[in-house]
A and B are shown apart, each in its own frame.
Chain A
Amino acid sequence: MILPHTESEIKEMLSALGLSSLEEMFYDIPEKTRLKRPLNLPPKMSEAELRKQFKQLAGKNHPLSDQISFLGAGVYRHHIPAIIPALISRGEFATAYTPYQAEASQGTLQAIYEYQSLICKLVGMEAANASHYDGATALAEAGFMAADISQKNEILISRGVHPHYRQVIQTYSKGGEISLMELPLIEGETAIQEAEKMVSPKTAGIILQSPNFFGCLENILAFSELCRKNKIPLIISVNEPLAYGILKPPGELGADIVAGEGQSLGIPTSFGGPHVGFIAVKQQHIRKLPGRLVGMTLDKSGKPAFTLTLQAREQHIRREKASSNICTNQSLCAVANAIYLSVLGKQGVQEAAWQCYHKAHYAFHEWEKETGLTPLFKAKFFHEFAMQIPIQSEKFLKEMKKHGILAGYPIEIDYPEFPGGILLTITEVNTKEEILDFSKKAQKVLDLQKCLNH
């Protein structure tokens, strides 16, 4: 990109400042630390050269659309309506700053207000923030919120929560606001009996993910009863919000905070980011919410209008006493979520969710019947389930990849107690043909391995 200044303009501007060179503007920087050499960077490229270079780099990657993929584990491929990239790439959305000047930002503000409302409706809550970095960081800050609400600091977190999320909350806990205890799993579900034993007067809240990392639906109701009994908040972590197109939302089952990831709702997998986190709460906790909030109010003439509100909780006003340090969030991705939920609407979201559900259950039974794979758990699931491979999972995945299939996520990376387990995800994007193809190739791979072993 070329800057607009001509050489003669630069001269004129310098002379208006009484300077004769650009260098003089930097005399406040100690001479000995001023760089005496050009930065060691590759030579500059034109637009055409950049395009060529990046196409080449992109060509070294193998996008999901060029293969059959049953990979999920927290990041999900769904159909993305064409209007989403078209609308969010409009410069008026993409190149605006944080809407601090309400009169000049009603577009972003209203879109975010709608986003907050749509997220609340999907998960059954009453207020959501204007987005967070991602599901993992949203969950970590939800943990802080729980500690703030209960004025205690020990959080019980299920082993069924996405391993990256548990690692992130572990990192966040190093600031000392919370400490973590792990709730064990039984048959892929968080053990309520263990939780009952572990809850103590020190417990600040309980974190559960549903559907959990293995795809299993958790018994949210049982945990919300336990939390209510102990007067501590229940936090539900959500990796796959689309599931709540058909499942009873956490808000109706007694969750106090729902924190999760919105990537499923219209955002490409993007090698892990940008995605978008959300935190939604019941009305009584709104002042404990971290991050920006958009509220509806009136303008001077009495017209409905939108503005950032409750800003006195935030870092730019409260500094070290703020509820969080977050400033930049994932606003544009939140707008993508809002567009997704609007254009799919009630019926579209239900249909996407049901298709995931039916296809995943079809695959589950098909693969159980036709291949040597056996389900790891009996729990109910949405579109993701764990299966046991009779051979090393690494070997299996490698062979399947040769057949053009990404056959899931090897769970023993994070759960050594399940060697040979893989996590398989089926969304509406997968076809019956792909599911049957998996069966065929899996049989082939496993048969071949059997022969080799004999």
Chain B
Amino acid sequence: MPEPLIFEKSSPERKGYLFPSLDVPIFENSLSSEAAREDLPLPELSELDVVRHFTRLSQENFSIDTHFYPLGSCTMKYNPKIHDELASLSGFSDLHPFQPEDQVQGALEIMFQLQNLLAEITGMDSISLEPAAGAHGEFTGLLMVQAYFKDKKESRRQVLVPDSSHGTNPATAAMAGYEVVQIPSNSRGGVELESLKQSLSENVAALMLTNPNTLGLFDENILEITRLVHEKGGILYYDGANLNPILGIARPGDFGFDVVHVNLHKTFTIPHGGGGPGAGPVGVKKFLEPYLPVPIVKKKKNSGQEWYYLDDHYPKSIGKIKAYYGNFLHLVRGLAYILSQGAEGLKRIAELSVLNANYMKEALKKYYDLPYDRMCQHEFVLSAKKQKAYGVKASDIAKRLLDYGFHPPTIYFPLIVEEALMIEPTETESREMLDKFIRAMIQIAEEAEKNPSLVKGAPYTTPISRVDEVLAARKPNLCWC
């Protein structure tokens, strides 16, 4: 551990921040000893101590700003700095959610505009900006599905998910009270239609689908799939994790999806923050509008002037899914991104993300097993099967990539590919960068064959070597005490 813990740098009575002096008399009738705490075991440091500590910690990270980060399914594209500048304007960051409407017209206008633009991009009729993340959007979506069927007095207990789905899909379905039924994939990586037909019944509430799926493949049977589900009265749920490659090319709403969530922190370039915050707006077709979480931003004419307001008059709404109105500052960033791109720009993003992925896939398939050898979308999945013969696993390759200065791809996902390496370059990477990564991957494939222990011992250049995850899990130490 190159940088000690903040607690270890503490020195009694040191102060790091000066408050204005108290300008009112001390309240004499103070807290009783039962109510007051005795000790506050927080560290004591100077401002510079704290700045150096967190600066040094930051330097132990790989990030988009410092490294190529082709993490499949995560869409780690460059996050334009202008968005941060805009989100930090005091006219946005210094607003209270309970300020009167006339003081927040600009904020509501941003939300209103983003609702409309996301509806257009996804082909949906109405958008809620409230969910804080993708999985949160999924939960919102399934609760709407549940409310819809309850309203129709239909009891449907199952949700279908493909075996290639994100773990959040089945986890969400279970949280919404559904039984999860898994549908196998076919040899082209899409949904096995026969199994889908067999699983469909009046008991199925929804099918949750990512398309392009987590193999990076577009399911060409999509219209057949949506038709089959609709025929049985089920709802089509679109997991928008992989929306990037179809921006401006096609829209989930046009495929027949009824509910969509969008990951603003993937497709719409909100910085990932080391795991969050994100934003997971949800879009629905007209018939599901009454169930949207409240409030929704609306516009009306108020004595000739445009007036934005929060509408929570949705008697059939599922209710609130988060306090207040969503991760607002991220909505500012998301809107800025869409406005900076326009229709042509968004389409270009899709095209070049797909071009980059296919370019890398073609260059690497000679060296790594490619289980689904066909045109991919924004990402593709290799298998380290060949390397495994030399005792080198996907995780070893991932660690070795760190020594070459690259963040590794997503590994061991999707679960249906053995020793999976899921690579998503995104459109913001130049061809030179792709070539460098390709060369590194080829070199590692060679190392795996000729000097497997070199790969298995990696990384050698990071602040720490491989961590003992077994110890971490057997004797959990989650708090410095």
* B134 neighbours in A (Cβ, 8 Å): 327-328
Which of A182-190, A191-199, A354-362, A441-449 participates in binding chain B?
Answer: A354-362
Task: Decide: B324 and A75 in contact? CB cutoff 8 A.
Answer: yes
Task: Say yes or no for B26: interface residue by CB 8 A criterion.
Answer: yes
Task: Decide: B399 and A103 in contact? CB cutoff 8 A.
Answer: yes
What string of 1s and 0s marks CB contacts (under 8 Å) between B41-67 and chain A?
A: 111110100110111011111111111
Known: A137-B322, A305-B464. A33 touches B254 (CB 8 A): yes
For residues 273 through 307 of chain B, which have their beta carbon under 8 Å from a beta carbon of chain A? 273-278, 280, 293
CB distance from A65 to the nearest CB of B (A): 5
Task: Decide: B61 and A39 in contact? CB cutoff 8 A.
Answer: no
Count chain A CB atoms within 10 A of each CB in B38, B97, B223, B346 and give the residue with the most.
B97
* A376 neighbours in B (Cβ, 8 Å): none
**In-complex Cβ contact of A98 among B274, B427, B430 (8 A):** B274
Interface size on B, residues (CB 8 A): 199
* A159 neighbours in B (Cβ, 8 Å): none
Task: Say yes or no for B408: interface residue by CB 8 A criterion.
Answer: yes
Which of B383-391, B446-454, B467-475 participates in binding chain A?
Answer: B467-475
* B107 neighbours in A (Cβ, 8 Å): 57, 61, 271
Task: Say yes or no for A420: interface residue by CB 8 A criterion.
Answer: no
**Which residue from chain A places its CB closest to the CB of B146 in the assembled complex?**
A174
A104-B407, A273-B329 are known contacts; what are 6 more A-B pairs with Cβ within 8 Å?
A: A4-B429, A35-B254, A38-B347, A118-B42, A331-B277, A345-B44
Known: A106-B57, A328-B277, A345-B44. A175 touches B481 (CB 8 A): no
Task: Say yes or no for B37: interface residue by CB 8 A criterion.
Answer: yes
Task: Decide: B340 and A47 in contact? CB cutoff 8 A.
Answer: yes
Task: Say yes or no for B309: interface residue by CB 8 A criterion.
Answer: no
CA distance A167 to B58 in the complex (A): 38
Known: A13-B431, A47-B82. A314 touches B318 (CB 8 A): no
Task: Say yes or no for A181: interface residue by CB 8 A criterion.
Answer: no
CB distance from B423 to the nearest CB of A (A): 14
Task: Decide: A44 and B35 in contact? CB cutoff 8 A.
Answer: no
What string of 1s and 0s marks CB contacts (under 8 Å) between B153-176 and chain A?
A: 000000000000011101111111
Task: Decide: A346 and B319 in contact? CB cutoff 8 A.
Answer: no
Task: Decide: A96 and B132 in contact? CB cutoff 8 A.
Answer: no
* A93 neighbours in B (Cβ, 8 Å): 54, 58, 61, 63, 273-274
Task: Say yes or no for B84: interface residue by CB 8 A criterion.
Answer: yes
What string of 1s and 0s marks CB contacts (under 8 Å) between A125-138 and chain B?
A: 01110110111110
**In-complex Cβ contact of B320 among A122, A164, A269, A316 (8 A):** A164
CA distance A134 to B328 in the complex (A): 13
Task: Decide: A92 and B58 in contact? CB cutoff 8 A.
Answer: yes
Task: Decide: A342 and B6 in contact? CB cutoff 8 A.
Answer: yes
Task: Decide: A327 and B133 in contact? CB cutoff 8 A.
Answer: yes
Place the interface of chain A in its size category: 35 or more
Task: Decide: B43 and A342 in contact? CB cutoff 8 A.
Answer: yes
Known: A108-B275, A248-B36. A64 touches B95 (CB 8 A): yes
Task: Decide: A273 and B328 in contact? CB cutoff 8 A.
Answer: yes
CB distance from B4 to the nearest CB of A (A): 9
* A167 neighbours in B (Cβ, 8 Å): 319-320
CB distance from A15 to the nearest CB of B (A): 11
Task: Decide: A117 and B481 in contact? CB cutoff 8 A.
Answer: yes
What string of 1s and 0s marks CB contacts (under 8 Å) between B354-394 and chain A?
A: 11101100110000000000110100000000000000000
CA distance A111 to B275 in the complex (A): 12
Task: Say yes or no for A5: interface residue by CB 8 A criterion.
Answer: yes
Task: Decide: B34 and A248 in contact? CB cutoff 8 A.
Answer: yes
Task: Decide: A130 and B275 in contact? CB cutoff 8 A.
Answer: yes
CA distance A247 to B344 in the complex (A): 56
Q: List 23 A-B contacts (CB under 8 A).
A: A22-B354, A26-B249, A26-B354, A38-B344, A51-B82, A56-B106, A83-B54, A94-B271, A97-B71, A116-B478, A269-B97, A270-B95, A272-B97, A293-B478, A315-B168, A320-B170, A327-B166, A331-B275, A332-B275, A341-B43, A355-B19, A358-B27, A406-B96
For residues 1 through 36 of chain B, which have their beta carbon under 8 Å from a beta carbon of chain A? 1, 3, 5-7, 10, 13-17, 19-20, 22-27, 31, 34-36
Task: Decide: B276 and A331 in contact? CB cutoff 8 A.
Answer: yes
Which of A66-74, A201-209, A223-231, A367-375 participates in binding chain B?
Answer: A66-74
Task: Say yes or no for B238: interface residue by CB 8 A criterion.
Answer: no
Task: Decide: B463 and A106 in contact? CB cutoff 8 A.
Answer: yes
Task: Decide: A332 and B277 in contact? CB cutoff 8 A.
Answer: yes
Task: Say yes or no for A416: interface residue by CB 8 A criterion.
Answer: no
* A319 neighbours in B (Cβ, 8 Å): 167, 170-171, 180
**In-complex Cβ contact of B35 among A12, A247, A342, A362 (8 A):** A247
Known: A104-B61, A127-B479, A343-B16. A28 touches B218 (CB 8 A): yes
* B375 neighbours in A (Cβ, 8 Å): 25, 27-28
Task: Say yes or no for A431: interface residue by CB 8 A criterion.
Answer: yes
Task: Decide: A309 and B476 in contact? CB cutoff 8 A.
Answer: yes
Task: Decide: B45 and A3 in contact? CB cutoff 8 A.
Answer: no
* A86 neighbours in B (Cβ, 8 Å): 51
CA distance A4 to B431 in the complex (A): 8
**In-complex Cβ contact of B44 among A65, A221, A346 (8 A):** A346
CB-CB nearest 5 A-B residue pairs: A58-B91, A272-B324, A91-B65, A44-B342, A332-B273
CA distance A131 to B413 in the complex (A): 24
What string of 1s and 0s marks CB contacts (under 8 Å) between A211-233 and chain B?
A: 00000010001000000000000
Task: Decide: B95 and A331 in contact? CB cutoff 8 A.
Answer: no
CA distance A441 to B462 in the complex (A): 61
Task: Say yes or no for B327: interface residue by CB 8 A criterion.
Answer: yes
Task: Say yes or no for B151: interface residue by CB 8 A criterion.
Answer: no
CA distance A114 to B43 in the complex (A): 11
* B359 neighbours in A (Cβ, 8 Å): 13, 16-17
* B349 neighbours in A (Cβ, 8 Å): 3
Count chain B CB atoms within 10 A of each CB in A61, A117, A330 and give the residue with the most.
A61
CA distance A59 to B476 in the complex (A): 49
* A90 neighbours in B (Cβ, 8 Å): 55, 58
CB distance from B73 to the nearest CB of A (A): 10
For residues 43 through 65 of chain A, which have their beta carbon under 8 Å from a beta carbon of chain B? 43-47, 50-51, 53-65
Which of B196-204, B229-237, B330-338 participates in binding chain A?
Answer: B330-338
CB distance from B216 to the nearest CB of A (A): 11
Task: Decide: B478 and A44 in contact? CB cutoff 8 A.
Answer: no
Task: Say yes or no for B69: interface residue by CB 8 A criterion.
Answer: yes
Task: Decide: A401 and B273 in contact? CB cutoff 8 A.
Answer: no
**Which residue from chain A places its CB closest to the CB of B293 in the assembled complex?**
A171
